[in-house]
């Protein structure tokens, strides 16, 4: 396949950056999108240029590091997959592909397509855990959990923290991420004692990091590679309102 890439290049966070054009010739159809970028980078290096910098790790769709926007859509227009799971057979001979980083004030660009998403780590540190000692693994049947609650917690826990929800939202809201991370613990007995502290801490840290407000337009749900439901946002709003009310009267 012979393609044309329009790639965002930016030396550092304070650089203005610009789109640069690269040929992507003789690309195997079975190659993944990241493998295609590897091939292009090898040719750039051979010509003495600076390779395109991008994040990746597992290349199996489970870590969320491959944070690219392809033709204006975080990860890809196909649902339920990450950038590293996109294969070049999805494109047509002669296509022009626009490749840009996830854009949000809370995700400053490190270089080219790499962004600093450590804001998510700080939100998790603000409450996305349980602090009780768990000891050895308990028997699976020792703590009764309803199937509905278990399913909801499991679905929310599928979030890989890639940030696509933020990049797709016109307000750069992180509510889908925070909702998923809070709800997968809030729905379980082990997370119940610290539920209020967790929700208040995570939401307030989210606001402090500069993420925008949710206006319920569901772009986040549409691009989530793990197809997290926007229902977690409604649950987060309810939990936050209840926790804030209890905090105010105490």
Q: Where are the domains of the chain?
A: 3-111, 117-249
CB atoms within 10 A of CB 153: 17
* 169: CB partners within 8 A, 6+ apart: 212, 214, 217, 219, 220
Confidence of residue 92 (pLDDT cuts 50, 70, 90): very high
Q: Is the pLDDT of residue 139 over 90?
A: no
pLDDT band at 134 (very low <50, low <70, confident <90, very high): low
Residue 35: how many other CB atoms lie within 10 Å: 16
* pLDDT-based confidence at residue 241 (cuts at 50, 70, 90): very high
Distances (CA, A) of 82 to 33, 151, 186, 208, 214: 10, 23, 27, 28, 23
Give the model confidence (pLDDT) of 204-218 as tens digits.
999 999 999 999 999
Residue 218 structure tokens: 């569901």
Q: Which residues contact 19 (CB under 8 A, 6 or more apart)?
A: 6, 7, 8, 9, 98
Residue 157 has pLDDT above 80, yes or no: yes
pLDDT, the chain, mean: 94
Topology, domain 3-111: Ubiquitin-like (UB roll) (3.10.20)
> Mean pLDDT across the stretch 21-28?
98
Taking the model in full, what pTM does it have? Answer: 0.93
Cβ within 8 Å of residue 158, ≥6 positions away: 180, 226, 228
Task: Indicate the CATH number for domain 117-249.
Answer: 1.10.1060.10
CA separation for the pair 27, 65 (Å, rounded): 23
* Residue 143: per-residue pLDDT: 82
Q: List phi, psi (to 5°) of 6.
A: -110, 105
């Amino acid at each position: 396949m012979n393609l044309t890439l329009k790639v965002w290049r930016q030396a550092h966070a304070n650089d203005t950056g610009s789109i640069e054009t690269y040929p992507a010739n003789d690309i195997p159809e079975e190659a993944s999108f990241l493998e295609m970028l590897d091939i292009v980078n090898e040719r750039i290096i051979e010509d003495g240029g600076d390779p395109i910098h991008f994040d990746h790790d597992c290349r199996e769709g489970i870590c969320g590091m491959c944070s690219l926007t392809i033709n204006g859509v975080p990860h890809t227009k196909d649902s339920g997959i990450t950038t590293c799971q996109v294969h070049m057979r999805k494109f047509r001979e002669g296509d022009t592909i626009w490749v840009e980083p996830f854009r949000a004030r809370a995700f400053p660009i490190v270089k080219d397509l790499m962004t600093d998403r450590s804001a998510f780590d700080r939100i998790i540190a603000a409450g996305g855990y349980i602090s009780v000692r768990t000891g050895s693994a308990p028997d699976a049947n020792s703590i009764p959990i309803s199937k509905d609650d278990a399913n909801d917690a499991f679905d929310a826990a599928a979030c890989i923290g890639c940030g696509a929800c933020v990049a797709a939202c016109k307000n750069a809201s992180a509510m889908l991420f925070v909702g998923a991370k809070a709800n997968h613990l809030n729905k379980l007995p082990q997370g119940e004692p610290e539920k209020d502290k967790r929700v208040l801490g995570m939401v307030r840290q989210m606001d402090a990091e500069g993420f925008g407000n949710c206006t319920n337009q569901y772009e986040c749900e549409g691009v989530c590679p793990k197809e997290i439901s926007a229902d977690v946002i409604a649950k987060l709003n309810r939990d936050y309102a209840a926790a804030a009310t209890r905090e105010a009267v105490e």
